[in-house]
Amino acid sequence: MGEESADFLPCSSRPTRRNRIKFLLGGGVIALAVIYLIFTATQSTAAYFFTISELHARGEAVYDRYVRVSGKVTAAAIQFDPRELVLRFQIADENGQALSVVFHGPKPDQLRPDAEAILEGKFDGKVFTAQTILLKCPSKYEEEKGIVEEKVEAVR
């Protein structure tokens, strides 16, 4: 580009220093804005991991929050209405605490008794309405440590 002029005059130091302050200020404002964005977005979107017992213990404080809860699918009570696409099942933690779950969507293949389920959604005190179901089943790949994951999402 031929736009450059041969400007060999030494710059006086004052405007440069003023520039520097301007740049630092500008950069600072951007940094603060980004930090503010991160902070507020984290607060409003973070989904806390709870065990079923914790979820019950927290009571109303978590009723309208998007949370993540995990447990094992219990053998009884897997009901699926394929016409209306309503799936109801229960999960339980090691203490035997149970949680009733409803999910609006197709039934995932891996949803079997004893599968480890990680649910995201909201709890209203009675039923947990799951937005996503992540199921982990033991897998043959990568020896016993491996897992097969299946993730399904409800439609908005």
Tell me how far the alpha carbon of residue 17 is from its chain's centroid: 46
Question: How far apart are alpha carbons 128 and 132 in whole angstroms?
Answer: 11
Q: Which residue in 52, 87, 88 sits closest to 70, CA to CA?
A: 52
Q: How far is the CB of 156 from another protein (least distance, A)?
A: 6
Minimum CB distance to another protein, residue 38 (Å): 6
Binding site for another protein (CB under 8 A): 1, 3-4, 7, 11, 16, 19-20, 22-23, 26-27, 30-31, 34, 37-38, 41-42, 45-49, 68, 82-85, 105-107, 109, 120, 134, 139-143, 145-149, 151, 153, 155-156
Q: How far is the CB of 11 from another protein (least distance, A)?
A: 7
Question: Is 21 or 126 the residue whose CB approaches another protein more closely?
Answer: 21
Q: Which is nearer to another protein, 81 or 124 (CB)?
A: 81
Q: How far is the CB of 19 from another protein (least distance, A)?
A: 6
Helix (H, G, I), strand (E, B) or coil at 109: coil
**Looking at beta carbons only, is 61 or 126 nearer to another protein?**
61
Q: Which is nearer to another protein, 12 or 126 (CB)?
A: 12
d(CA 24, CA 18): 10
SS3 assignment, position 1: coil
Residue with tokens 């991991």: 49
State the nearest-atom distance from the C-beta of 76 to another protein, in Å. 21
CA distance 129 to 143: 34
| Distance in angstroms (rounded) separating the CA atoms of residues 150 and 111 | 9
Please identify, using beta-carbon distances, which residue of 48 and 63 lies nearer to another protein.
Answer: 48
Q: Report the alpha-carbon distance of residue 147 to residue 143 in Å, rounded.
A: 9
